[in-house]
Amino acid sequence: MVEKKQTPMMAQYLAIKETCQDAILFYRMGDFYEMFLEDAVKAASILEIALTSRNKNDPDPIPMCGLPYKAADLYIAKLIEKGCKVAVCEQVEAPSQAKGLVKREIVRVITPGMILNDSLLDRGTNNFLVAISKTSDYSGLACIDISTGSFTTCQVKRTSGVIPYTLLDEALKLSPKEVLLPDSFKSDPAMATIRKALSHVGITYLDNYTFRPDNARQLLTEQFATRSLEGFGIERMPACISAAGAAISYVRDTQLSDTSHIYKITPYNLNDFMVIDDRSCKNLELLTNIQTQSPKGSLIHILDKTVTAMGGRLIKQWIRYPLVDKDLIRQRLHAIEELIGAPGIHQTLGDLLKSVYDLERLGSRISMGQGNARDMLSLKNSLSVLPDLFRQIKTFKSPILNGTGMDGTPDLVRDLEKLAQLIGKAIREDAVHVLNEGNLINDGYSPELDELLSITRDGKSWIAKTEKKEKENTGLSSLKIKYNKVFGYFIEVSKAQSAQVPDHYIRKQTLVNAERFITQDMKAVEDTIFNAQERRTALEYEIFCTVREKVAKRTKDILIMAQFIAALDVVQGLAKAAVENAYAKPDINDDRRIDIQDGRHPVVEKLIQGERYVPNSIVLDDTQCQQILITGPNMAGKSTVLRQVALTVLMAQMGSFVPAVSASICVTDRIFTRVGALDNLSSGQSTFMVEMEETANIVNNATEKSLVILDEIGRGTSTYDGMSIAWAVAEYLHDLNGKGVKTLFATHYHELLQLEEIKPRIKNYNIEVKEFNDNIVFLRSLVKGGTNRSYGIQVARLAGVPDDIIDLAKSVLASAEHHPMTPAPSVQPAKKKKGSKKRNTSGQMSLFGPSDDDLRQMLQKVDIAQMTPLDALNFLNELKRKVEV
Ligand SMILES: Nc1ncnc2c1ncn2[C@@H]1O[C@H](COP(=O)(O)OP(=O)(O)OP(=O)(O)O)[C@@H](O)[C@H]1O
């Protein structure tokens, strides 16, 4: 439709649009951003704004919609939320200076993973972009957050054509907002899993060339201004280089501004941290509650007492990446202990930290030339706190607390204080967000600006003086000096007195009740004022940019300080949580024991109402009690105790105090959970299939250093199949690699209690209840021994199931108990023989004794003529036995 003769503006629009096909182009026209053609149709529908057309009378009108530039952030946020990309195209020359059409350029592209604007970001969450690569032997991952400058990478060896599960899991764990993949992944069948797993995230495919390690290496060395990547430890990690290079290339292509705040890349090894896969993170409700999907009712909600945005983001990482290095864990624990020992300083520290804004994001925005005057003032206020803060912490011994662990310059605090002074001297305290309206720079900062300021101010007072003088000279009581955009300043006199004005008054306008005039003198002064005003606004902007550039040069120092503050804040928050919740410092042991005395579930203990939380003790080791089978009625607290152990171990390894009277924890490499709380119906998988996938993941990947939490296995299938699977998994984990895995296994299959006699390191426990008058009281304490009562009917009554059903269920149960369910001999669990992994699971338990039909069939099959007297006697005996069971 626009093939025909285009206006110059439309030609310019189309040429720019050509360069950003996959983004919605915000084309700046004066105080508006306009969108045209398909972009307009799409944006109008998402943003719910009016769709109009540019040339309404044309038979082929161009659809368009627009929005005020000052409100753009709001609209951009909405488009990004819907997975769109937005290319912002600005007028890059002043219309007054343009010869013909104003020059316009795209200044940045905003995508879900490329957001800098604070109002579009979640304060406590990193906005990660993840790139995934594949080289001949490895798969690589790079993760970047341009709003903070964080840039990390890892790689995993590949044994097949597909991306290893561990790397994919790592990608999911980072909860990226956008993922970059090479074009070749788009249709490769081997990449179907990764495409599906990441389908909920926006995937952007980039040219394969962008991922080529040689190309990527060059980009990275350019970015870091280094000759090689040796200093970052990734020189010989091509998969990391490939992914990281692609990420940087994308940042540069979209941001089109200085990206020097991304000054380093940090490689990490997945084995440096305890692995908690995405499912376990959800199952254990680390960051969100499983039902509500909100942080309330999750571990982070209890532990996060940070007061800065940086601390808020870091504590999430500490929870998602618990440590396995004992010394590092002990360092964190020691810092918390020191802080708890100095309650006065702890309080002051919290108060001081509250005044520190988001240094990471401020520093990054300023460095990328997008910080405004309010950002600069926030930075100044934050940096001004540092001297006081460092005076408070200097007596601490822990490097996490006293800052000696920081890799900044020796005089970092003093240098940053000077930076704060520079900002304070230059930027006005009442400066506004917009940069092109003046009122940014303080009096006394620039003599040239001061002169312009005095002209504009004096000019205004001159106007006031003139009014007074003219009134006196003319004696016209109605004379006023006014201003409008058409005439600038003018003199207004009422109609009645207008004939008496002096001759040098030049008539400009006649109104119903008044006449308007100007004078030569007045216009001369007005020109001076206006010119000065214009020059002043431009000069203020220029000075602001110079100061911002000076600050940007110290971005690295700001980011180093931000990282220190973030860790300090996390530690002070954990110390606060420890004091408020009566947590204990865990001991990190070397003797492969998990010994928790009087432990509690950190979240449940806060949520229960009308009941006191009953603490429980648990000991797991590799010799006596490696696997604990927990039986007990429904609702007794089995799941809670299981999760409580997992959370306590995790908290200890993230370096936090734990909800127990005492705890000694050995380092765990991975926590596996199979808890069945997740409903994956929406992802099209059957509940049982999910359960079995989780089980397969555990048995295939657990090591003797892992902790396995199994909250019922086999519920989603027939009782007999389920019990057999549960039995086999318990045995398998006990025997794994000849060493076994620490396992907590809650089950309603009482048959499994026999395992204690067969396997030396399996122990039975149950959660106590008291029974009276057909009712039960939950005692919540974990005690030795198994129980074969489920009290399901009593729990059903508690839940409000009608009495009729309860009574019927009771009689069914009585009948079933009269004819107990016994596994057929072929499926009776037996001690596992070497090499005999398969069991016959074809049989089903029958709930009741033999029916008349069964007996009839037996009798029909018998050929009495062929029977010996002994056969007949045996058969009779068999029949009798059948009816008696
Ligand atoms: N130690 C405890 N002290 C106090 N209350 C507890 C304790 N443990 C659990 N509870 C309460 O009991 C409720 C049920 O616990 P939980 O879900 O762990 O039971 P369960 O035995 O796993 O039940 P089911 O077998 O039906 O899944 C919890 O939501 C909590 O309110």
Fold agreement (121-272, 326-580) = no
Residue 245 pLDDT exceeds 70: yes
pLDDT digit string (tens) for 488-528?
889 999 999 989 999 999 998 999 999 999 988 888 888 88
Amino acid at 190: A
Q: Which CATH number applies to 8-110?
A: 3.40.1170.10
Q: Answer whether 852 contacts ligand 1 (Cβ < 6 A).
A: no
Task: Let me know if 756 is exposed, middle or buried by CB neighbors in 10 A (0-12, 13-18, 19+).
Answer: middle
Q: Is the pLDDT of residue 678 over 60?
A: no
- CB burial readout 178-190, b (16+ within 10 A) else e: bbbbbeebeebee
638 contact partners, CB below 8 Å, separation of at least 6:
630, 631, 632, 711, 746, 767
Measured CA to CA, the distance from residue 348 to residue 390 in angstroms comes to: 12
Give nearest CA residue, ligand 1 atom 1. Answer: 614
Prediction pTM value = 0.81
Q: According to the model, what pLDDT value does residue 251 have?
A: 94
Q: For the packed helices 520-552 and 447-474, what is the interaxial angle rounded to 10 degrees?
A: 160
Atom of ligand 1 nearest to the CA of 607: 31
346-404 residue pLDDT tens: 999 999 999 999 999 999 999 998 899 999 999 999 999 999 999 999 899 999 999 88
Cα of 675 vs centre of ligand 1, distance in Å, is 14
Q: What gap in Å lies between CA 445 and CA 451, rounded to an integer?
A: 11
Closest residue by Cα to atom 5, ligand 1, is 613
Helices (H) and strands (E) in the chain — how many of each?
A: 28, 26
CA distance 201 to 196: 10
CA separation, residue 229 to residues 163, 215, 216, 281, 407 (Å): 24, 13, 11, 34, 19
pLDDT value at residue 790:
67
Tokens of 802: 């009608």
Strand partners, 143: 130, 152
| Residue 728, ligand 1, Cβ within 6 A | no
Position with higher pLDDT, 847 vs 160: 160
Residue 409 — pLDDT band, cuts 50, 70, 90?
low
What is the per-residue pLDDT for 845? 37
For residue 105, list its beta bridge partners.
90
Q: Is 635 in the pocket of ligand 1 (CB under 6 A)?
A: yes
The identity of residue 494, as a single letter, is: S
Does CATH number 3.90.1150.10 belong to domain 121-272?
A: no
Give the residue numbers of the binding site for ATP: 632-639
pLDDT of residue 799: 72
User: What's residue 817's pLDDT?
Assistant: 64
C-alpha to C-alpha distance for 579 and 559, rounded to whole angstroms:
30
Ligand 1 lined by 618 (C-beta under 6 Å)? no
* Strand 662-666 with 587-589, pairing: parallel
Nearest CA to ligand 1 atom 31: 608
Convert the pLDDT of each residue in 434-468 to its tens digit. 777 778 899 889 988 888 888 877 777 777 788 88
Q: Which residues are annotated as a binding site?
A: 632-639
Q: Is the minimum distance from the CB of 639 to ligand 1 under 6 angstroms?
A: yes
Span 103-149, pLDDT tens digits: 999 998 999 999 888 888 888 899 999 999 999 899 999 999 999 99
Q: Is the CB of 634 under 6 A from ligand 1?
A: yes
The per-residue pLDDT for 681 is 43
Q: Can you give the C-alpha Rg of the chain in angstroms?
A: 37
Atom of ligand 1 nearest to the CA of 636: 21
Name residue 517's beta-bridge partners: 491, 507
Which of 617, 629, 635 for a ligand 1 pocket mutation test, highest count of atoms within 8 Å of Cβ? 635
The whole-chain average pLDDT of the chain stands at 87
For residue 733, pLDDT over 90 is answered with yes
The answer, yes or no, to whether any atom of ligand 1 lies below 6 A from the CB of 644, is no
- Note the pLDDT of residue 234: 94
**In contact, 642 and 746? CB cutoff 8 Å:** yes
Distance in angstroms (rounded) separating the CA atoms of residues 316 and 437:
40
Determine the distance separating the centroid of ligand 1 and the alpha carbon of 289, expressed in angstroms. Answer: 16
Mean pLDDT is lowest, of 134-138, 167-171, 608-612, for 608-612
The alpha carbon of 639 and the centre of ligand 1 are apart by a number of angstroms equal to 6
What spacing in Å lies between the alpha carbon of 820 and ligand 1's midpoint? 28
Can you tell me the distance from the alpha carbon of 483 to that of 491, in angstroms, rounded to the nearest whole number? 9
Q: Which CATH class, in words, describes the domain spanning 587-827? A: alpha beta
pLDDT in tens, 541-564: 999 999 999 999 999 999 999 999
Q: Quick check: CB of 240 below 6 Å from ligand 1?
A: no
Q: Could you tell me the fold of the domain covering 326-580? A: MutS, DNA mismatch repair protein; Chain A, domain 3 (1.10.1420)
DSSP 8-state code for residue 772: E
Domain ranges of the chain: 8-110, 121-272, 326-580, 587-827, 852-884
- Contact status, residue 594 vs residue 666, Cβ threshold 8 Å: yes
Residue nearest to atom 14 of ligand 1 (CA): 635
Ligand 1 centroid from CA 790, angstroms: 14
Task: Please give the backbone phi and psi of residue 411, each rounded to the nearest 5 degrees, phi first.
Answer: -100, 30
Beta 775-784 vs 150-157: how paired, if at all? Answer: unpaired
- For ligand 1, the distance from its centroid to the CA atom of residue 645, given in whole angstroms, is 14
Are 57 and 120 spatial neighbours (Cβ–Cβ below 8 Å)? no
The kind and range of the H/E element at 783 are: strand 775-784
Beta bridge partners of 90: 105
Q: Is the pLDDT of residue 267 over 90?
A: yes
**Torsion angle of alpha carbons 635, 638, 640, 645, nearest 10°?**
170
Cα 610 to ligand 1 centre (Å): 14
pLDDT digits (tens, 9 = 90+) for 753-768: 899 998 999 999 988 8
Beta-bridge mates of residue 482: 490
Q: Quote the ligand 1 centre to 578 CA distance (angstroms).
A: 24
Ligand 1 site, residue 613, Cβ cutoff 6 A: yes
pLDDT in tens, 270-314: 999 999 988 889 889 999 998 888 999 999 999 999 999 999 999
**ipTM for the assembly:** 0.98
Nearest protein Cα to ligand 1, atom 25 = 634
Using a 6 Å cutoff on CB, does residue 608 contact ligand 1?
yes
367 burial type by CB count under 10 A (0-12 exposed, 13-18 middle, 19+ buried): buried
Q: How many CB atoms lie within 10 A of CB 81?
A: 11
> How far is the centre of ligand 1, averaged over its atoms, from the C-alpha of 641 (Å)?
8
Out of 314-323, 327-336, 419-428, 684-693, least confident range: 684-693
Q: Is 176's C-beta closer than 6 angstroms to any atom of ligand 1?
A: no
Residue pair 240/153 in contact by the 8 Å Cβ criterion: yes
- Taking the centre of ligand 1 as the mean of its atom positions, its distance from the CA of residue 378, in whole angstroms, is 47
Distance between CA 377 and CA 384 in Å, rounded? 10
